[in-house]
Amino acid sequence: MPKRSAARRAGWVLGLAALAIAPFAAPSLGGQAAPARDASPELGSAAAEFAAPPAASPGRAGAAGPRARDAAGPLVVGHRGASGHAPENTLAAAEAAADLGIAWVETDVQRTADGALILMHDTTLERTTDVEERYPGRAPWNVSDFTAAEIATLDAGSWFGAEFAGERVPTLGDWLAGLRSRGQSLLLELKSPELYPGIEAEVLAELERLGWLGGEPGERLVIQSFDAEAVRTVHALAPGVETGFIGAPDPADVAEYAEFADEINPRYRDLTAAYVAGIQAHTGPQGRPLKVYAWTIDDGPAAVAAAGLGVDGIISDVPDVVRDALAG
């Protein structure tokens, strides 16, 4: 778990209401570091388990929103869009998900040198753009070292395939507008928020500006992060927004996470039926059972196995493959 400062001050305005958040102390949650992303095919390797391990039955994909698992089975979420079909975190990837009938997509937000909110998974630009060719003297090509105008010149598609040449790095506003036009919903990750002080309030402001706040929590928006302090801050600033912590906390610490996180979203190799059920036995800040979304599952058998553990959602680069596997 990332260490948290003893006091933090933030302010947030929603519509005409002003909310001032005084400094608050965050308890230690066991000192567990969030796990690194990977796509391991293993299931059931969680080190610690809850008591009373009721197993769940496999279900079908297609739930309408990230609410608690029901007879419809796990919700399927496109990872960085449908990133197995189009370059990750681009408008093309979100459109590809829509074309596949995937209503929910995940993406990562960071901040440029001049304060713009853009979508990028890595904290550097070289893996998914042509930044090394365009700006050869500016290694290590940190997102935070480039302006929005400079990033807008980059090709974010050719690395994936020639048919995506010229695809650009979108702003958060561009992405939100596209999702709204297609009726899609958003699982938004604050990527490395420790690099971008105040990004929680800035993201919330952009979401409100474009009409994404309000309504039933979790119906079309969830904000998540590996950084527990960032999740806590989002909840403090906008209590009506559903939030998620990415990682696999020790069972003894889950009650404390449940004070500010509605979802606990581990990599799927960390899951057992007992661990999933133990998370779901806690009530989150919206007054509903905590949910568990597993990442990143890209093959049918692993998706069916994860569904059998009782997860509420599955995040996948190829969400169509997962959906079809769960449908039997």
Read off the pLDDT of residues 99-129 as tens digits, 9 standing for 90 and up.
Answer: 999 999 999 999 999 999 999 999 999 999 9
Does residue 237 surpass a pLDDT of 60?
Answer: yes
Among 53, 98, 58, 60, which Cα is nearest to 78's? 98
pLDDT at residue 50, as a whole number: 52
180: phi then psi, degrees, rounded to nearest 5: -60, -40
Residue 135 lies in a domain: no
Task: Between 252 and 26, name the one with better pLDDT.
Answer: 252
| pLDDT per position as a tens digit, 289-322 | 999 999 999 999 999 999 999 999 999 999 999 9
Instruction: Indicate the pLDDT class of residue 288, thresholds 50, 70 and 90.
Output: very high
pLDDT at residue 141, as a whole number: 98
Catalytic member of 79, 85, 235, 282:
79
**Residue 85 catalytic?**
no
Does residue 189 surpass a pLDDT of 60?
Answer: yes
pLDDT at residue 169, as a whole number: 98
Rounded CA separation 203/188 (Å):
10
pLDDT at residue 95, as a whole number: 98
Count other C-beta atoms under 10 Å from residue 296's C-beta. Answer: 22
Q: 45 is in which domain, residue-wise?
A: 41-124+170-327
Residue 199 lies in a domain: yes
Residue 261 lies in a domain: yes
Residue 32 lies in a domain: no
Q: What is the CATH number of the domain that holds 52?
A: 3.20.20.190
Q: Per the structure, how many domains does the chain have? A: 1
Q: At what angle do helices 300-308 and 319-327 cross, to 10 degrees?
A: 60
Interval 172-188 mean pLDDT: 98
Catalytic member of 85, 121, 235, 282:
121
pLDDT at residue 72, as a whole number: 76
| pLDDT per position as a tens digit, 32-70 | 433 333 333 345 544 345 543 333 333 223 334 454 445
Residue 181 lies in a domain: yes
pLDDT above 70 covers a percentage of the chain that reads 78
**Residue 282 catalytic?**
no
pTM of the model: 0.83
Residue 218 lies in a domain: yes
pLDDT at residue 30, as a whole number: 37
Per DSSP, what are the bridge partners of residue 205? none
* Contact (Cβ atoms closer than 8 angstroms) between residue 303 and residue 327: no
Residue 97 lies in a domain: yes
Residue 8 lies in a domain: no
Q: Which distant-in-sequence residues (6+ apart) come within 8 Å of 318 by Cβ? A: 82, 84, 85, 298
